[in-house]
A and B are shown apart, each in its own frame.
Chain A
Amino acid sequence: MTLATLQTRLTCPFCGPRHLSEFVFHKTVAPPNASPFAEVYERIDNPNLSIEHWQHVRGCRSWLRVHRNPSSGSVLEIHLLGAAI
């Protein structure tokens, strides 16, 4: 494993690749169709895929759904939150 694969940038669908410090992490999403209780307290515990909500706060302010591999630190996909999947 080399350093080059670890990311300190996220690619915003609007703004392109920007430094991580422009983004704020909000939460790891719950399993789909979770009950309100599960929504708050349950998480998908997958070492290879974490689905997270981030906001490009110091940029265009869009909310993003980020798919990350926590084991390798790599970002797999980024979508606008709320957009059709």
Chain B
Amino acid sequence: MPKALHQLTLEEALAGLKNRDFTSHDLVSACLDQIKKYDSGIHAFLEVNDQALKEAESPRPGPLSGIPVAVKDNFLTPGLTTTASSNILKGYLPHYESTVTARLKAAGAIVIGKTNMDAWAHGSSTETSDFGATLNPWNTAHLPGGSSGGSAAAVAADMCIFAIGSETAGSIRQPAAWCGVTGFKPTYGRVSRYGVIAMASSTDSPGPLAKTAADAALVLQIIAGLDPYDATSSPRPVPDFFNNLKIKIKNLRIGLPWEYLEVMQPDTRRLVEKAADEFIRMGHQVESISLIHPKYSIGVYTVVQRSEVSSNLARYDGLRFGSPRSGFGEEAKRRIMLGTYTLSSGYYDQYYNQAQKVRTLIVDDFTRAFEKYDLIINPASPGPALKVNATLNEPMFGEMQDILVEPSSIAGLPGFSVPCGFIDGLPVSFGLIGPQFSEALVLSAARNYQQATQWHHAKPRL
């Protein structure tokens, strides 16, 4: 049976538009229908762009011309409210556009709507959204993960052709894993943060949630690269990611860190080891390696991130955005308090400084590992999607869920989350990370795996 339009991958949709098999209007309308039919039960979107169909009538020419994209609600989009799922910014209409959405629009993409997230991206469940949780399209009794849970669910439920998320530590890869889509976190600095409501400035990285690794490469091509408005964006030239996929890679040395496998649930671990076997079958070497135990990253990440959050949220001071600081949700308040404490005089050395020292050790640990190995298998989550309400009374829920991706996040490394099986009808993914700015290699490896397997083609029954 041929795929319905909304089920197409980005690659297929672009080919179909080019062949005039259908129009952008057809494509956008198929996705909007999908939203209309199913989003009341999933709640992936906070706002749907009521101009999308009109925009699809004469899309701007470009490499993504006429493609509907769902955008996480922490990217500023004039004309569409931007709230980061927080009551503080309820109804906020931004005055300027984020670099990522500006580049997507300039490439012809059509923003179909804004997706739900954990409020201020503080979480790994999308359950802490001030506007209600998003549910997992594979089983609505389960969470989609987070903080980019709305974007992951929208891709899984074919409500868009691809989506944009942002990751601080796990916020792309973990929801991608729980929703069975392909999520890619680029190197820190590869994609501009300008116009993205800041969570933890030193680790925030925007990136794609897509249906395939090839799609992720196409999207990354558009959004990556130096931005004069972001002093931390990298001046390195952006390689041709998509054409690079055609180069056959062989004989990769891949590390499988046992400390990471150790914290995984046994059945999820077995699927990840099967994915590793697949790489061996494809002619690569996979070896067990040892890295600093990921548990140490939780402390580092928690201190650095809370410190930055406490400062980043200071601008919502009750004077200018219409809501007093008492309007912050419980999680934001907890993080502001903890961050204020760790930066206070007398505690700075003990917490923030200490965390930065350990961060350096973790960075060095990866550097050493990448002297010997091209890539490291790094699963995004210890297990499949947890049940709704799992975050209640679990202030460290996110950190426990993201334990496996926090080390690579604080080291700023690029990483993939790629579907590799199912447990009780819920998707499971494995992850790949590479050295800084090795996006092309990570993308190629993920693409190779997807050429050899079918897991990423599976669709939830809505």
The reply to whether chain A is a binding partner of chain B is: no
Using CB atoms and an 8 Å cutoff, list the residues of chain A in contact with chain B. Answer: none
